[in-house]
Structures are given as structure tokens and as C-alpha cells.
């Protein structure tokens, strides 16, 4: 990929490894920005090169220390705006607070909308995001949102595995539409689970619709947090006679007991996540594998910069 001097790409501190990969695919160097904290925890950002009249792309994952990552992104946007950047695009590999996209009970916030408001007020002109928890989050913005999906990346991975009796499993009814698209790409069968959430980070799988006996199951979700849902679902699939169970999720948050739960669950053969969220190298010695979204994001940034079509990056049916 070729770029010109009008584009500058910067990285926040949440996932610099992904930013380095994206820059490498684009054939550019990451811009020079100073990011630090005051003694009381306040975040400081200063661009150490001119951004005046440039198209600025800020790569940040709102994950890990979620609140710091979000605040850092907002401050970087504000700094670029005040330094007279021509345009500012936030490349948000994981959109934090995306699970709070609606009111499920009285007196709850819609925090995904609040984050959208904060980003717009800070001065962002465009968002590039990967596998939002719900597509409706795009509508929370009054600016362009390029919503990418890692589905084609997972499809390439599992096609290479040559699983003979593949069935794609949706972990809940809300994910069923995405699972159906995955089925269409893979040419496989579909099974759907139904679950309830008695509390945050707790899930109870109550129903499984579809035949999984003797099948190679691929459980597809947008994120894995504490892995409670994944373990519960995989145990049910094993009880129903699944021959092998593979899990893929775009965002490997892998909080708290997630690693131990995955490694100790005999029902799980492997868990494949992307690098939208940083996964420590020492955790990649067991069942967890990471595939990269860097080429996808590099193509998206380049096409946005040069007014190219990005539609085939949105829909995996066109991408494959």
C-alpha cells in the first residue's frame, strides 16, 4: 500500500502492537506523540510533530484499563483538533462500553451512546470500528462510521482446518443473524442457543436448537470477557455429542478467571480471538490462538484516505 504525506497515523497506549502491524501493512511509520500521566493519574498528550492540515488516524482499543483508554483517546482527539488537523479518524479496534447499548431495566444508562457523544464533542470526524456489540451503535453517531467485521478472517482460519462436519453455533438469539452469515460463507449448518443473564458476567444457557451430535462445532461470538458463557455453552455442546468444539470471538477481553476457565474446560478444543485487544504472549501457550485484523484495518484506513470503496470490507460475502 502506498500513502502520501497528507496522512498521519498515531497509536494510543492500549494496543501499540496492533498499531505497529497496521502501519507496517500500510508502509508508513507511526507518528510521534507523547503520552504520559501526571502523578494524580491525569492523562497528558502532545503531538511531537505538526499535524496541521493533515488527515490524522488514531488507533486505540478501548479495553484493558477501559476508562484510561477511552480518556486517552478523547484527549488525543482534542489535541489533534486544537493543532489544526484537517480531519480526525478514530480507529477503535474494540469499542468499550458497547454492551450497554440499550436500557434493559429501569434507571439504566445507555453508555454506548454516551461514549459516541463524547467522541463527537472531542472533535472526531469519522469512526472505524470492528464488530460492534450491536450494529445499532452506528446510529448513535452523527458522523460516518465504518463498521468492519472479522468474520472473513475467521472463515479463512477454519477453512484451513478442514473440519469435516462443520456446524456454526450462535451463543444466543441476538447473535443468530451474524452466525447465519458465517454459515453462508462456510457452507455449514447452524445451531442456536438461548441464554439468560441473571447478573453481569453470568449466563445460563437454557436451550439448544439444532443438531450438533458428531459435528465439529464453531461457537461464534463478538467477545469473550470472563469466559463464563463460553464454558457453559461448550459443556452443553459436549453433552449433546459434539465431536469437537472450537470457539471464535473478535474481542478477547479475557478478564479475571477467563484464561483458567478456558484451559481447564475439557469441552473446549481451541479458542481463536483477534488482536483487536492485546493478549499477553505468555497466555498464548495453551488453547488460545490469536489472528490479526491489521490487514483489514490497514485496507480500511487506506481506502478511506483515498476515497475508495470500503463496502467489501463491511460484508464478508463480498470480501471472500
Q: Which residues are catalytic?
A: 195
Cβ atoms 217, 245 nearer than 8 A = yes
How far is CA 280 from each of CA 130, 222, 254, rounded to the nearest angstrom? 20, 20, 10
Q: Which residue has cell 470471538?
A: 249
**Cα 49–96–173 angle (5° rounding)?**
145
Burial 70-82 (b: 16+ CB within 10 A, else e): bbbbbbbbbbbbe
Picking from 11, 23, 54, the residue whose alpha carbon sits closest to that of residue 298 is 23
- Nine cell digits for residue 302: 487506506
Count of other CB atoms within 10 angstroms of residue 207: 11
Q: Can you list the alpha helix ranges (DSSP code H) found in 27-102?
A: 66-82
Q: Could you give the strand order of the β-sheet that contains 166-170, starting from the edge strand earlier in sequence?
A: 202-209, 189-199, 166-170, 216-224, 244-252, 270-274, 288-291
Amino acid at each position: 500500500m502506498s500513502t502520501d504525506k497528507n496522512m498521519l497515523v498515531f497509536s494510543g497506549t492500549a494496543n501499540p502492537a496492533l498499531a505497529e502491524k497496521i502501519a507496517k501493512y500500510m508502509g508508513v511509520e507511526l507518528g510521534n506523540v507523547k503520552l504520559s500521566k501526571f502523578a494524580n493519574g491525569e492523562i497528558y498528550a502532545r503531538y511531537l510533530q505538526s499535524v496541521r492540515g493533515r488527515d490524522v488516524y488514531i488507533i486505540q482499543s478501548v479495553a484493558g484499563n477501559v476508562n484510561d483508554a477511552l480518556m486517552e483517546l478523547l484527549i488525543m482527539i482534542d489535541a489533534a483538533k486544537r493543532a489544526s488537523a484537517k480531519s480526525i479518524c478514530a480507529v477503535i479496534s474494540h469499542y468499550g462500553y458497547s454492551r450497554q447499548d440499550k436500557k434493559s431495566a429501569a434507571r439504566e444508562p445507555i453508555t454506548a451512546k454516551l461514549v459516541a457523544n463524547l467522541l463527537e464533542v472531542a472533535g472526531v470526524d469519522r469512526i472505524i470500528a470492528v464488530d460492534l456489540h450491536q450494529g445499532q451503535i452506528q446510529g448513535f453517531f452523527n458522523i460516518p462510521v465504518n463498521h468492519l467485521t472479522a468474520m472473513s478472517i475467521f472463515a479463512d482460519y477454519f477453512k484451513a482446518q478442514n473440519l469435516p462436519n462443520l456446524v456454526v453455533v450462535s451463543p444466543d438469539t441476538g447473535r443468530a443473524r451474524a452466525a447465519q452469515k458465517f454459515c453462508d460463507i462456510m457452507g455449514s449448518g447452524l445451531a442456536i442457543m438461548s441464554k439468560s443473564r441473571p447478573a453481569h458476567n453470568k449466563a445460563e444457557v437454557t436451550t439448544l436448537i439444532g443438531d450438533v451430535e458428531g459435528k465439529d462445532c464453531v461457537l461464534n461470538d463478538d467477545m469473550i470477557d470472563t469466559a463464563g458463557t463460553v464454558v457453559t455453552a461448550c459443556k452443553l455442546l459436549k453433552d449433546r455429542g459434539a465431536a469437537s468444539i472450537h470457539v471464535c470471538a473478535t474481542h478477547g477481553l479475557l478478564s479475571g478467571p477467563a484464561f483458567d476457565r478456558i484451559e481447564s474446560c475439557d469441552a473446549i478444543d481451541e479458542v481463536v480471538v483477534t488482536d483487536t485487544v492485546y493478549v499477553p504472549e505468555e497466555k498464548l501457550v495453551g488453547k488460545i490462538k490469536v489472528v490479526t485484523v491489521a490487514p483489514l484495518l490497514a485496507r480500511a484506513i487506506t481506502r478511506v484516505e483515498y476515497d475508495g470503496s470500503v463496502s467489501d470490507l463491511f460484508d464478508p460475502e463480498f470480501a471472500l
